[in-house]
Amino acid sequence: MEVKEQIEQLRKDLERHNYNYYVLNAPEISDQEFDRMMRELQDLEAAHPEYDDPDSPTRRVGSDLNQEFVQVPHRYPMLSLANTYNKQEVADFYERVRTGLEGEPFEICCEMKYDGLSISLTYEGGRLVRAVTRGDGVQGDDVTENVKTIRCIPLRLRPGAGYPQDFEIRGEILMPWTSFEALNREREEREEPLFANPRNAASGTLKSKNSSVVASRKLDAYLYYLLGDEIPGDGHYENLQAARTWGFKISEAMRKVKTLEEIYDFIDYWDVERKKLPVATDGIVLKVNSQRQQRALGYTAKSPRWAIAYKFQAERARTRLEAVTFQVGRTGAVTPVANMEPVLLAGTVVRRATLHNADVMAQLDLHIGDMVYVEKGGEIIPKIVGVDKEARGPQTGAKVDFITHCPECGAELVRYEGEAAWYCPNDTACPPQIKGRIEHFISRRAMNIDSLGPETVDEYYRRGLIRNVADLYDIRVEQINGDDGAREKSARKIVRSIAASTEVPFERVVFALGIRFVGEIAAKALARHFKSMDALEAATLDELLQINGIGMVIAESVIRYFRDDSNRELVDRLREKGVRMELSPEELSAHSDKLAGQSIVVSGVFSLHSRDEYKAMIEQNGGKNVGSISSKTSFVLAGANMGPAKLEKAGKLGIPILSEEEFLKRIEI
């Protein structure tokens, strides 16, 4: 089989397996076999860029290139639905529809109200060409590249399925409970603010400027409305069943009914059963099924008259506040935690709830012994949402104030400008911070030191073997193999893993240092810009602020970190142990400053390299990728079929347009 045929066959097979797994929930092959086929296709595409296809299944993994979102007008406005919270209001809606249709028989389509981010998908010739968020209802953000990473959204529709040439389908982007819980566990370990619910997590993910991050978070989607001049028929329910055959993920929970009693039955059933679903729901959507009747009923200024959303009541419990404790994390952030009498809430026993920060505590006006109301944010994270102040009596204790000094080391807490949290500044001598920084240093995304975990770090700390991350490199087998040598095998494995960490790339070393507010993306930007630890250590505030993605908070934190003598000594010790303190020659050879300070738009279809490859070249040569043309654009890298609107705007602003050959000559490739 020729290479081109092999690539096309792999793409076809992977698309089929993708549909079976993510839409039908009926996989035919193992995850390992799917991954093997994906790797094979990636290798073939890398070796043969002449067969590039922007809709290849390999594009599902996303890119780590920065994206700038462009505002795109909606062809049809994306209006919000009117909300109702009780059955009487549902009955009122039903009566308004009956009156508005002057007694004509009608059907109601009952659907789940999924709690995510609204999205509009446009297909032309069976291919996904645009994905746009709701925005303000008139226009939204173009998030096409991010949406392409969501496995259940087809990039190309199933051949011969009978879909229209041009149509729009709308739905909800969701983060499944399993992905949400895993993401919050990771954020908790890094001491980043937790997402309150899957909706916020899905929204924050889809707006990421790094599509590889979107891919890693395994978003889901359900589609619920079809629009266009050539859609199959008048029935909304029937249109969605047709869309299912084209390859779209349509909810199995939809039901078409005629009477108010049937609507109530649907509501009552799903108020209980929704808790078994893999994604978050917060209500029921009721729509008049006939699109002809929808048009007859029309719209108010904000919402359609032919649809309404019934919102489920959040589950709430009342219990007694027994105490408030304060936890100190790796970055020194101090988090108040409410300790309560155990109470059953949404199927689990709740004893503790986060109070987030001092501002939240002050708003609640908590007293020891208060009867408090607890809800689960997104039905996962317990939070106190109110206080029953009428229940206060002589037995109620003192008001709970936020502490002023660290409960672990006694240092006076500080609050940085723009931050909600209070911090212990004693990051070199506060035990939770020391151990937390070591745990961060050894983590998989940082130095990736196997066989060490929080319990082992705590043991080594108590024994005095480690007081900072550099001490790890002094650990000897005989110190950790047990009194009788019974743990020698694991001890040797730990020591080998510590030694192997000296080969970790420089950008991960920057992340591993645990500089406050410097996450993985910021660490990568700092490493690529300064290229060595010495240059980063000597960086000025102005130099730091010139880097895309580095704002004042991160820049000042970097300055503070290297201003501390103990931190500079730590870096010197790590350097002595062989930890990488600069980009490797291979990494350096791939970077230049030929495009430094230039903002570049990439547009059109290319033949010599893929769009992503050109964007990577721009970043490697110091340039910045932007999504839209403005007066600040340095030039446009244009392939075939560049959009006429962009071409016209570039001409009006006098922005240079470079061909592939001209661009490659400019960077001398």
Report the chain's C-alpha Rg in angstroms: 28
Tokens matching residue 101: 């249709």
Alpha-carbon span 366 to 372, nearest angstrom: 9
- Cα 664 from Cα 645, distance rounded (Å): 25
Backbone φ/ψ region at 125: left (φ over 0), alpha (ψ -120 to 50), beta: left
Backbone angles phi, psi at 202, to 5 degrees: -65, -40
517 Cβ contact list (under 8 Å, min separation 6) = 331, 553, 554, 557
Identify any residues that bridge with 344 across adjacent strands, giving them in sequence order.
349
Catalytic residues: 113
Q: Is 554 helix (H, G, I), strand (E, B) or coil?
A: helix
Q: How far is CA 24 from CA 42, 119, 275, 336, 553, in A?
A: 25, 21, 21, 44, 46
- Residue in this structure with the two tokens 């291919």, named with its chain if needed: 127
Q: Within 13 Å of residue 535, how many CA atoms lie on the same side as its CB?
A: 13
DSSP H helical ranges for 152-228: 177-189, 198-206, 211-216
- Pairing relationship of beta strands 635-638 and 599-603 according to DSSP bridges: parallel
Whole-angstrom CA distances from 423 to 258, 406, 459, 550 are: 59, 8, 25, 21
Among candidate residues 98, 212, 105, 120, the one with its CA nearest the CA of residue 171:
120
Which residues face 221 on adjacent strands? Answer: 173
How many other C-beta atoms can be found within 10 angstroms of the C-beta atom of residue 260?
Answer: 16
User: What's the rounded Cα separation, in Å, for the pair 534 and 190?
Assistant: 26
Q: What is the 3-state secondary structure (H, E, C) of 15-75?
A: HHHHHHHHCCCCCCCCHHHHHHHHHHHHHHHHHCHHHCCCCCHHHHHCCCCECCCCEEECC
> What is the end-to-end Cα distance of the chain in Å, rounded?
32
Closest by alpha carbon to 639, among 624, 625, 656, 660? 660
> Rounded to whole angstroms, how far apart are CA atoms 536 and 525?
11
Strands 316-328 and 307-311: unpaired
CB 595 within 8 A of CB 491: no
Secondary structure in 3-state letters for 252-286: CCCEEECCHHHHHHHHHHHHHHHHHCCCCEEEEEE
Tokens of 319: 């219990």
Between CA 148 and CA 156 the distance in angstroms is 11
> Which residues make Cβ contacts (< 8 Å) with residue 37, sequence separation at least 6?
10, 13, 14, 17
**Is 275 within 8 Å of 346 (Cβ atoms)?**
yes
Please, which residues have CB within 8 angstroms of residue 620's CB and are 6 or more apart in sequence?
A: 590, 591, 592
